[in-house]
Homo-oligomer: A and B are copies of this chain.
Amino acid sequence: MKITILGAGGMGSRFAIKLHKKGNDVKLIDGWQINVDTIKKNGIFANFNGEELFEYIPIISPEEIEKDEQQADLIIVFTKSYQLREMLQGVKQIIGPNTYVLCLLNGMGHEEVLKEFVPKQNILLGITMWTAIMEAPGRVKLFGTGDVEMQNLEPGSDHKKFAEEVVGVLSDAGLNARYSENVKYSIYRKAALNGTLNSLCTILECNIGQLGKTKEAETLLKEIIAEFAAVGAKEGINLDQEEVYEHIYQTFLGDITEHYPSMYQDLIKNHRPTEIDFINGAISSKGTKYGVPTPYCTLLTQLIHAKEQIINVS
């Protein structure tokens, strides 16, 4: 299986390292030239659960795709959400009629972008609980454990067979993949976690523990989860609001209370744009489409976008 990973950031590097180490035919494509050049020269350095390792993996930028470049069997997208369309546009040449795309990105609505480039039946959607931090060009920090849950966007016998092959390849490489019969539920559930912790910690400029200690945390979480549930109901997803609340509430008690969510790191720490449009912003847009009020998600999206402009990153 010829695998191309789009985006050589933290997650792209994690998946590339694991798959390449297992002997798979893996190639990275990344849009950040200094990252591409560094990895070409030195490979990817990874601090892997405290141990230093490095791995040479072929990498090019979209501009370096050769005219006779082969089409990929599987493309795994690990760009930032807002870079997905431009990246797919840039690598169009390696997307053939038999190319599948696996999307494990945080948030919702990516399938709308993917559909512009591949037939629906070739889209695999999912979530991953693996984490990764990009520290510098060609350097990532990987720790903890995780898994992958995925499903065909349009289930169908032939296409499910390929999806199951992908599950096998990922699992053989140690990425703990499984085929799900209701991945959309998992996507909503994970988006609700990001739509509370990420957006609130970013606008309040605090870590998870600090948010959890405020008197308002319970109400804020419950209002936001209720909006995700109301919109989800219009898409056949019956989110168990209490379970989702408990799941998020657990992060206030665990060992990641000093963690600043990725959106905080993007905007407040690194002054980069956020993925808010694919999290609370997606609920806000869907809410408008379905006539479901989503004021908390809408205001949070507006505040985060305003903050992006104030920090001068958008």
Please report A residues at the B interface, Cβ cutoff 8 Å. 200, 203-206, 210-211, 213-217, 219-220, 223, 293, 295-296, 299-300, 302-303, 305-307, 309-310
Contacts and interface: CB of A to CB of B under 8 A. Distances in A.
Assembly stoichiometry (copies): 2
Contacts of A307: 204
Given A204-B307, A215-B309, A309-B213, A299 B302 contact: no
Contacts of A300: 299
Nearest to A207: B310
Given A296-B295, A299-B299, A309 B214 contact: yes
Contacts of A293: 295
A295 B219 CA distance: 13
B295 A220 contact: no
Contacts of A305: 214-216
Contacts of A205: 205, 310
Contacts of A302: 216, 219-220
Contact of A210 (B203, B296, B310): B310
